[in-house]
Structure 1
Amino acid sequence: MNLLNLDNPVFEVYAIAAALMVLKVMLQGWMTVYRMLKIGSGWASPEDLRKGPINKHPSPEQLDSNEYVERSRRLHRNDLENIPAFLAAGLLFVVIDPILWVAQVLMYGFVLARTAHFIAYATQQSHELRATFYSVGSLIVIYMAFHVMWSVMF
């Protein structure tokens, strides 16, 4: 049986979880742009100060760091540090043909952990709460990677 198609329910779970996480990464970038445009600050590069249809009144202050924008940038960076590892480990996990309910718990658990991390970060909750959600997602990816290695080696 070819495991990498939608006839495989584990691949279907992966496809849904992966699509949600790809959307999360991409939409977080758009959120950062929205925040920069909304407040006219937190722009990233000197060339952003060129006059154009979007930036009709450039000023050097637009390059000043802004916490509203930086919070979104940090969320995006955190996604870029975590979600690609899930995408790789999750695909490898599909290939070892795990039990469906295990794949569902792990993959949907990762999606929920990243969603909870986003909410905690966006609403400025404590580091401990945010770190808890990060840790859950991280441990899921680590488990999947070890499970794949164990399955291949033994």
Structure 2
Amino acid sequence: MALIRNEVFSCFVFYAVLLLVKMYIIAIITGQVRLRKKAFANPEDALRHGGLQFHREDPYVERCRRAHTNDMENIFPFLFLGAVYSLTGPSITVARLHFLIFFLCRVLHSIAYLFALRAPTRSVSYSLAQIPCFSMAVQILMAVSTYA
């Protein structure tokens, strides 16, 4: 319970849960697009939904799947970095800024991915989301370097 009373850690948990909900939403969208496009990755799913001719790839299903994969590649490391960073005693204002920037950039990244927005929206949002992660990593390393 002491961690929940830590203002920075509670702030991190808030944004972490929002990010995980966003990931679930992207996964649900991917599944719904698969059903709508009748493009199934597994033959047993295709058989259940009309036949083996639907065991195929669809460009938009693949776009949704890549958006979800990209989330996993970026949000999971953020979860580790944010949790450890929260325990290093950062300022709540600075920590909230780190978490908020990452969250907003990941939302924008997903929107840009799903709607195939023109360049450079997706790459800029991806790059901007890396800044707080890099900052947290550096601050964590500085905090623990005396113990290494």
Q: Report the Cα distance in structure 1 between the residues aligned to 2:38 and 2:87, rounded to whole angstroms.
A: 47
Q: Is the 8 A contact 2:43 2:52 kept in 1?
A: no
Aligned Cα root-mean-square deviation (Å): 1.6
Q: Which amino acid aligns with 2:52?
A: S
Letter in 2 for 1:16: F
Match of 2:65 among 69, 73, 82: 73
- Residue pairs, 1:60-139, within 5 angstroms: 60=53, 62-139=54-131
The offset of 1:88, in angstroms, is 0.3
Write the distance in 2 (CA, Å) between the matches of 1:127 and 1:64. 28
Of 45, 48, 68, which residue of structure 2 is paired with 1:48?
A: 45
Matched residue type, 1:59 = L
Equivalents in 1 of 2:30, 2:114: separation in Å?
Answer: 12
Between Structure 1 and Structure 2, the one with more helix by share is 2
Instruction: Tell me what 1:143 maps to.
Output: 135
The alignment's TM-score, normalised by the length of structure 2, stands at 0.91
CA apart distance, 1:49:
2.6
Percent of aligned pairs sharing the same letter: 30
Unaligned regions of 5+ residues in structure 2, if any?
none
